[in-house]
Amino acid sequence: MDWAFCGPVDWAATGSMLSGIGTLIGAGAVIYAAHKGSDTFKQWRRQKSEERRIELAEQILTLAYKITRAFEGIRSPAMLSGEMTRVEASLREQLEPDDKRSFGSNLITAQGALLRIDHYKNLWDALLDTMPVAKAVFGNDIETQLSTFWTQRGKIIASAHSYARSAYRGHAPTEEIKEQQLQQLDRLEQVLWSGGDESGVDAFANTVNAAVAALEAPLLLIIRSDTPFGISKTDNRHS
């Protein structure tokens, strides 16, 4: 029977080899950890981005609903005695102390609309603050719909000033001019007051409601879903 004898073990070489293997394993672990860390950061960043979109979508729609209700209050034809007193007082502040003139209904209506607009100043400030952020996050379409509210506000202010000036018009020299003035007053009142024209169409309210609907279409999908723009998690995995 032959016997095989092992020579002496070179522990220095063996240690170097094991050390090399350990270095490779350590390097692989670092790379793996870095990759996982990068994925975790991306997931965290995506989650934060989604949360921001949802919060902003909620903010925009809440503001839109509040402005819609504000327009309803501003354009209400009803004016209680307390409000009438405040309107007359604000008009009288613009007169000399000894000027005791009375104010016609046109001036009362116009000044009332302006005071109502000013009452909602916090909403208009919020609107101006929200518009650029909405454009940056959601694009031009959302910002355009928000601009509609600002435009409608401007229409009320402009109509109120025109309505106030009508109080100082003299007697119309002809029936034709009188008819033109009445038609202009009617157009102004359709902006200042809710209710619409002779056929019941309220163009002002329809414009506001259309803007709200255009905001709801994309933003409600974001609010009601797990991911931006209504994309479900299942769809996202297969994309």
User: For the chain, what are the domain ranges?
Assistant: 55-231
Give the angle subtended at the CA of 190 by the CAs of 166 and 110, to the nearest 5°: 40
Quote the pLDDT of residue 151. 97
**Of 192, 217, 215, which is closest to residue 71 (Cα–Cα)?**
192
pLDDT in tens, the chain (239 residues): 555 545 555 545 555 555 655 565 665 655 655 555 556 656 655 666 677 889 999 999 999 999 999 999 999 998 888 998 899 888 888 876 666 666 788 889 999 999 999 999 999 999 999 999 999 999 999 999 999 999 999 999 999 999 988 877 667 667 776 777 778 888 999 999 998 788 889 999 999 999 999 999 999 999 887 544 444 444 443 33
Quote the pLDDT of residue 184. 84
**Of 74, 98, 93, 84, which is closest to residue 153 (Cα–Cα)?**
74
